Amino acid sequence: MRPSLLPGLAAAARRNADRGAGSVRLFELGRRYLADGEHSTLAVMLSGDRNPRNWQSGKAERFDAFDAKAEVLALLEAAGAPVANLTLTMGAGEAWHPGRSARFGLGPKTILSDFGELHPRVAKALDLPAGTVAAEIYLDAIPASRSSGHSRPPYAPPLLQPVTRDFAFIVPADLQADALVRAVRGADKQAIVGARIFDRFEGDAGLSLAVEVVLQPGEKSFTEAEIAEIGQRIIAAAAKLGATLRA
- pLDDT tens readout for residues 67-110: 999 999 999 988 888 888 899 999 888 899 998 999 999 988 89
Task: Let me know: does 75 contact 137? Beta carbons within 8 Å.
Answer: yes
The answer for residues whose C-beta is within 8 angstroms of residue 58's C-beta and 6 or more apart is none
Angle at 135 between CA 130 and CA 141, to 5 degrees: 160
> Which domains, ranges and CATH numbers included, belong to the chain?
6-141 (3.30.930.10), 163-245 (3.30.70.380)
pLDDT at residue 30 tops 60: yes
The residues facing 171 across adjacent strands are 207
The residues facing 88 across adjacent strands are 104
pLDDT for residue 1: 77
Identify how many contiguous H helices and E strands the chain contains and give both numbers. 5, 11
pLDDT for residue 61: 84
Convert the pLDDT of each residue in 137-192 to its tens digit: 999 898 876 554 555 555 567 888 899 999 999 999 999 999 999 999 999 999 99
CA distance 115 to 7: 15
CA distance 142 to 161: 32
pLDDT for residue 19: 85
CA 86 to chain centre: 9
Distances (CA, A) of 29 to 4, 122, 142: 11, 22, 15
Long-range contacts of 198-204 (CB under 8 A, 24+ apart): 198/166, 199/168
Closest to 109 in 3D by CA, of 132, 87, 126, 131? 87
| Maximum Cα interatomic distance, the chain, rounded to a whole number of Å | 61
State the Cα torsion 7-11-14-15 to the nearest 10°.
-170
pLDDT for residue 145: 66
